[in-house]
Amino acid sequence: MFRKNRPLFISMDQQYRKLKRKFYTLLFLFVLFILGTSYYLYLNYDYFAFKHLISQNYIYTDTLDELFKKELNRDVNGEYYKNFDNLVLSIVTREIRELNGDQYTYQYLPENYKKTKEAEKEEAKKSYVEEISKDIIYLKVTNFSEYTKDFMKKQIKTLKNYPNIIIDLRDNLGGDIFTQYYMSDLFLPKDQTIAYDITRSDLLTRTVKSKKKQVLQYNHIIILQNGNTASASEGFISSLHDNLDNVTLIGENSFGKGIGQFTLPLKKGFAIKATTMLWNTPNNINIQGVGIKPDLEYAKEDIIDYAVEYINHQQK
């Protein structure tokens, strides 16, 4: 069977039709771009007009200098236009906080955003693993961040060597939900519900499920919690407690943060953080302002010893 030979030469007519198709395709995309840009400018006309009016024409520049200094903590040296967007973000997020008490929606100044990222890294370094006995491993997790994820990857081999685990989430204020999903995935069988993420967008509203086979399996999982156990920590707790029958929560009622934030880096080192999500536990409960009640209430300093005694008693 022979393949049909391609023509050695393309006729001028064929070349013309090919170029014509490319031209009309590019023309269509260009027109679409122009229409989209025009519509975007139309929707934002009032803002752009106000931005130009104030930043370029307002005569009381001393007032503008004072306002920019107050909101952005910096002298803009007359460059009102370049810093106007950050001024607006600062004012709007502040008004949101004052109106509904949403303390998690705000703009980071560059210096604050840098400090926050550095503090996050330093806090993650305090996480550690310690053998309590040949049957019990202790895991202290101080936050949920990319650094925590790296830490957990390095500890998996060690964690697999013990039949029981105590996970200490006291004073863990949470952090990155994707790190939390990763950690939950380690402890859960495949296709178990980790959380329900609820947003204003149908595209982003989803049911989060475990994707891999259960990596870490234990006879008993003890989780220590207190009033400062919050957000992603509570998400991790509920994902294990609602799906596994060998999880016991010891301590105090958790903080109760059933909402999530998204942080978006901006130009010049700024960043914006806003509450964009509600999350529900695998049992489809939102814990905002309620928290998670422990199975065993215990608030004494020897809570780790108490957890060890509990495991030993269960194994008898």
Looking at the structure, tell me whether residues 85 and 159 fall in a common domain: no
Q: What is the pLDDT of residue 9?
A: 58
Start-to-end CA span in the chain (Å): 77
* Phi-psi region at 84: left, alpha or beta (left = phi > 0; alpha = psi -120 to 50): alpha
Q: What is the pLDDT of residue 7?
A: 57
Q: What is the pLDDT of residue 45?
A: 96
- In the residue annotation, 11 being an active-site residue is answered as no
Q: What is the pLDDT of residue 273?
A: 97
CA distances from 290 to 163, 183, 219, 230, 234 (A): 32, 23, 29, 11, 11
**Which residue numbers in the chain have pLDDT < 70?**
1-10
Looking at the structure, tell me whether residues 269 and 213 fall in a common domain: yes
Task: Pick the catalytic residue from 127, 145, 210, 231.
Answer: 231
Paired residues of 271 in beta bridges? 108, 265
Lateral strand order in the sheet of 247-251: 128-133, 136-140, 164-168, 220-225, 247-251, 296-297
Q: What is the pLDDT of residue 14?
A: 80
Q: What is the pLDDT of residue 220?
A: 98
CA distance 85 to 228: 35
User: What's the domain range around 175?
Assistant: 117-315
- In the residue annotation, 20 being an active-site residue is answered as no
CB contact at 8 A, 69 and 87 = no
Q: What is the pLDDT of residue 16?
A: 80
Looking at the structure, tell me whether residues 84 and 138 fall in a common domain: no
Looking at the structure, tell me whether residues 135 and 282 fall in a common domain: yes
Q: What is the pLDDT of residue 12?
A: 76
In this structure, what token pair is assigned to residue 174? 């949470």
Looking at the structure, tell me whether residues 304 and 161 fall in a common domain: yes
Looking at the structure, tell me whether residues 218 and 190 fall in a common domain: yes
Looking at the structure, tell me whether residues 96 and 146 fall in a common domain: no
Look at residues 217, 255, 219 and name the one whose alpha carbon lies nearest to residue 238: 255
Q: What is the pLDDT of residue 137?
A: 98
Residues 6 or more apart whose CB falls under 8 angstroms from that of 145 comprise: 120, 121, 123, 124, 175, 176, 179
| CATH (domain of 121) | 3.90.226.10
CA distance 174 to 145: 8
Domain ends where: 101, 130, 150? 101
